[in-house]
Homo-oligomer: A and B are copies of this chain.
Amino acid sequence: MKKLSRKERERVIKRDLIIDAALHVMQSKGFEHATMDEIAEAAEIGKGTLYLYFKSKTALYLAISERGSRLLNDQLGKVLLLELPGISLIEKMGFTYLNFIRESPLYFTAFNYFEHIMNEGKMANTPIMEQCEGHAIEAMTYIVRALQIGMQDGSIKKSFDPKELGVIIWGASKGVMHMAFLKNNANHMKILDDIDFDLQSLVSGFIELLRSGMKNDLKS
């Protein structure tokens, strides 16, 4: 029993090292220009071995996305523990997301890839895909919790259904963060170059919009 456990631990560690290597290769070669041969070489293993750990290139990408959303969720989860009005929790989550993207743009690229292949229907019902979906549900739940807290403490008006509002905020946030990401990373996208703004103010503006959109009007 102990022996098996040790093997399994070693396997997990090695798996993680492979993901590290993959990220490293992608950093220099670009996300989808990285080849499995290069990744195997970077991880100092044979190509066949790589396929023992990840059944396909897509599965490897998903594993990266999985790790990324796990890291992000850890941070989002901690925000929920703070003693703050719901609306401030939403705000903090927004900036947490922004900082994550700034520090780990590669993971953000992986997120997008995850959604892209989910669209295509590939990898449906595989364990790694289930994990990724689980993380997505978790992130979504954090937002809904914050909304519920806000509706309790009066900082967010109750006219919205929290779950539907959660989907809206989740989607809208990703879209805005994507803009911020483009502004930060792509040297293309002239439209964003022309407009002078920084990420912080973009996200601040977005959150301000949400804040006043969700604000309890205190009328009656």
In the complex, chain A residues 128-176 whose Cβ is within 8 Å of any chain B Cβ: 129, 133, 136-137, 140, 160-161, 163-165, 167-168, 170-176
**Interface residues on chain A, size class:** 35 or more
- Given contacts A171-B178, A174-B178, A182-B115, whether A137 and B202 have CB atoms under 8 Å apart is no
Report which of B136, B175, B201, B214 forms a contact with A191, defined as CB distance below 8 A: B136
- Given contacts A174-B175, A175-B176, A209-B214, whether A167 and B197 have CB atoms under 8 Å apart is yes
In the complex, chain A residues 168-211 whose Cβ is within 8 Å of any chain B Cβ: 168, 170-179, 182, 185-192, 195, 197, 201-202, 205-206, 208-211
Copies in the complex: 2
A188 touches B32 (CB 8 A): no
A168 touches B209 (CB 8 A): yes
A32 touches B205 (CB 8 A): no
Give Cα distance in the complex from A23 to B145, angstroms.
Answer: 42
B171 touches A33 (CB 8 A): no
Give Cα distance in the complex from A202 to B179, angstroms.
Answer: 21
Kindly provide the distance from the CB of A193 to the nearest chain B CB, expressed in whole angstroms.
11
Q: Chain B residues with Cβ under 8 A from A208's Cβ?
A: 160, 213
Task: Let me know if A118 is at the binding interface, CB within 8 A.
Answer: yes
Task: Let me know if A104 is at the binding interface, CB within 8 A.
Answer: no
Chain A residues engaging chain B, CB cutoff 8 angstroms = 30-33, 109, 112, 115-116, 118-121, 124, 129, 133, 136-137, 140, 160-161, 163-165, 167-168, 170-179, 182, 185-192, 195, 197, 201-202, 205-206, 208-215
Q: What 10 A-B pairs have minimum CB-CB distances, sorted nearest first?
A: A175-B175, A213-B213, A171-B179, A172-B172, A171-B175, A209-B213, A171-B176, A174-B175, A137-B191, A212-B213
Residue contacts A-B, CB under 8 angstroms, 21 given = A30-B121, A31-B120, A109-B119, A115-B182, A116-B116, A118-B188, A119-B185, A133-B188, A133-B191, A164-B202, A165-B205, A167-B179, A167-B192, A168-B179, A168-B202, A171-B177, A172-B175, A175-B176, A208-B213, A209-B213, A213-B213
